Copies of this chain bind each other. A is one copy, B any other.
Amino acid sequence: MPIISIEQAGKYDGQEVTIRGWLYNIRESGKLVFPIFRDGTGIIQGVCALKENPEAFQALKGLTQESSVIVTGTIRAEQRAPGGFEMGVSKIQVLQKVSEAQPYPIQLKEHGVDFLLDHRHLWIRTPRQASILRIRAEAVRAARNYMDSQGYILTDAPMFTPAACEGTSTLFEVNYIDDQKAYLTQSGQLYIEATAMALGKVYTFGPTFRAEKSKTRRHLTEFWMLEPEAAYADLADMMTLAEGLVSAVVQSVLANKSIELETLKRDTKKLENVKAPFPRITYEEAIAILNKHNNPTKFGDDIGGDEETIVSNEFDRPVMVHRYPAAIKAFYMQPDAERPDLALAFDMLAPEGYGEIIGGGQRIHSLELLKQRLQEHHLPEEAFNWYLDLRRYGSVPHAGFGLGLERTVAWICGTEHIREVIPFPRMIYRVYP
């Protein structure tokens, strides 16, 4: 008798198989019970009649939610069943019946978000959360495959760093060994600029940390970022790479996670458009769009969350805004040769109000200009000495960007808050469970 996963059920139409999982829900109707089983790969409805299978019927009747079960039965096509197949249950082994006195905490009803976050280790079992996690995994897989296919070499940036790179207010301090201090990385960029000079085209994809005190739906203290960096590359190269990457991720999720998107009731029409090329507009063109919509943003202002939504609503796919005022961008941004007040930087704004998912651009490769910028930004040259070495020894034009995984997955899934798209979200007052 084959032991199968529920996602394979369609291949076993008419055959007797065994499934190992949990009871997700059960409906009783006289001498029939309709259990729903889950095994992590999907959900299948069962049916069991007292008359035909009295032992299995008795075991199922009154069985508590999330009890662990090994079920044997015949798979058959059933249009009315979710997934198109159901199982005629002939035999069931209950591994653990969840106590009626202490039932499964997450009932099939609405719970408050704090309760759910306190029970995140169980919350992830619900079809919605499980679907989100499976989509996240697919997005990571697609993103890595795309980077590899473009000849980018993975070089993991370190988590421990000796000093703050950009401002210290959102930096986590670690009590390192023997009273040393270390800081958790906020971005791997500076490090992969070094590996790009060694390997040409590189990326890092790991956790990054920000001590964000803002309690918005877009912030986590611990989040994953994919950051490519390439030697001999410029702003346009990075915009091309970024649109290729985001298209590949979205199209892979559409192709391989359609059941999960359906579980989330995601409107996939809006995702189907997400194909390169993406529109590219200048910062100044973005300002003009805002002004057209009576938004007062003017040259030199940051484009905030509300403004991002107004701009992105003009387009049917992500839009890339480039050439921001140098004054509002990081110290390492290469100025535009024709307009030195502009930085060769770009952001990618996701549609549907999801805001910035990518930020990047071309880096300064002149030693003198980089030193001048460190001074202007009141950053200590000493801490950046190794970084300046990259401009002392064979400096070349280079560029890169960072893609926020959780923001990207939240947009693809259409979730309201990014806390749902990471297995165990960390926020200002939450490091549990």
Q: Flag whether A415 is at the interface (Cβ < 8 A).
A: no
Interface size on A, residues (CB 8 A): 93
Cα–Cα distance between A133 and B26 once the two chains are bound (Å): 52
- Judge whether B231 and A394 touch: CB under 8 Å: no
CB-CB < 8 A to A182: which residues of B?
431
Q: Flag whether A104 is at the interface (Cβ < 8 A).
A: yes
- Judge whether A157 and B199 touch: CB under 8 Å: no
Q: Per-position contact with B for A125-169: 1 when CB-CB < 8 Å, else 0? A: 100011001101100110010001001011111111110000000
- Judge whether A96 and B141 touch: CB under 8 Å: no
CB-CB < 8 A to A121: which residues of B?
191, 194, 386-387, 389-390
Cα–Cα distance between A64 and B45 once the two chains are bound (Å): 72
Pick the contact of A160: B40, B222, B392 (CB < 8 A).
Answer: B222
Cα–Cα distance between A395 and B69 once the two chains are bound (Å): 10
- Judge whether A198 and B129 touch: CB under 8 Å: yes
Given contact pairs A22-B394, A396-B96, A431 touches B148 in the complex (Cβ within 8 A): no
Given contact pairs A141-B154, A199-B40, A200-B40, A386 touches B422 in the complex (Cβ within 8 A): no
Stretch from A201-209, A317-325, A349-357 at the B interface: A201-209
- Judge whether A133 and B199 touch: CB under 8 Å: yes
Chain B's nearest CB lies how many Å from the CB of A343? 21
Chain B's nearest CB lies how many Å from the CB of A23? 8
Chain B's nearest CB lies how many Å from the CB of A114? 15
Q: Flag whether A124 is at the interface (Cβ < 8 A).
A: yes
Cα–Cα distance between A98 and B160 once the two chains are bound (Å): 30
Q: Flag whether A423 is at the interface (Cβ < 8 A).
A: yes
- Judge whether B195 and A423 touch: CB under 8 Å: yes
- Judge whether A125 and B197 touch: CB under 8 Å: yes
Pick the contact of A122: B95, B96, B206, B389 (CB < 8 A).
Answer: B389
Q: Flag whether A30 is at the interface (Cβ < 8 A).
A: no
Q: Flag whether A433 is at the interface (Cβ < 8 A).
A: yes
Cα–Cα distance between A286 and B223 once the two chains are bound (Å): 43
Smallest CB gap from A129: residue in B: B198
Chain B's nearest CB lies how many Å from the CB of A212? 8
Q: Per-position contact with B for A196-232: 1 when CB-CB < 8 Å, else 0? A: 1111110000110101010000000110100000011
Chain B's nearest CB lies how many Å from the CB of A91? 16
CB-CB < 8 A to A5: which residues of B?
151, 200
- Judge whether A41 and B177 touch: CB under 8 Å: no
CB-CB < 8 A to A392: which residues of B?
98-99, 102
Q: Flag whether A107 is at the interface (Cβ < 8 A).
A: no
- Which residues of A39-57 have CB atoms within 8 Å of chain B's CB atoms? 39-41
Cα–Cα distance between A288 and B234 once the two chains are bound (Å): 62
CB-CB < 8 A to A175: which residues of B?
172-175
Cα–Cα distance between A195 and B433 once the two chains are bound (Å): 12
CB-CB < 8 A to A423: which residues of B?
155-158, 191, 195
Cα–Cα distance between A207 and B21 once the two chains are bound (Å): 30
Q: Flag whether A428 is at the interface (Cβ < 8 A).
A: yes
Chain A interface residues toward B at CB < 8 A: 5, 20-23, 39-41, 66-68, 70, 95-96, 98-99, 102, 104-105, 119, 121-122, 124-125, 129-130, 133-134, 136-137, 140-141, 144, 148, 151, 153-162, 172-178, 180, 182, 184, 191, 194-201, 206-207, 209, 211, 213, 221-222, 224, 231-232, 386-387, 389-390, 392-397, 422-424, 426, 428-429, 431-433
Known: A140-B154, A178-B428. 11 other contacts (CB 8 A): A121-B387, A133-B198, A158-B222, A158-B422, A158-B423, A159-B159, A173-B175, A180-B431, A206-B207, A207-B207, A387-B433
Q: List 28 A-B contacts (CB under 8 A).
A: A21-B200, A23-B394, A40-B197, A41-B200, A66-B393, A67-B394, A68-B394, A95-B394, A98-B392, A102-B392, A121-B191, A122-B194, A129-B198, A136-B154, A140-B154, A158-B422, A159-B159, A160-B221, A160-B426, A162-B433, A174-B174, A177-B213, A177-B221, A180-B429, A182-B431, A206-B207, A386-B433, A387-B433
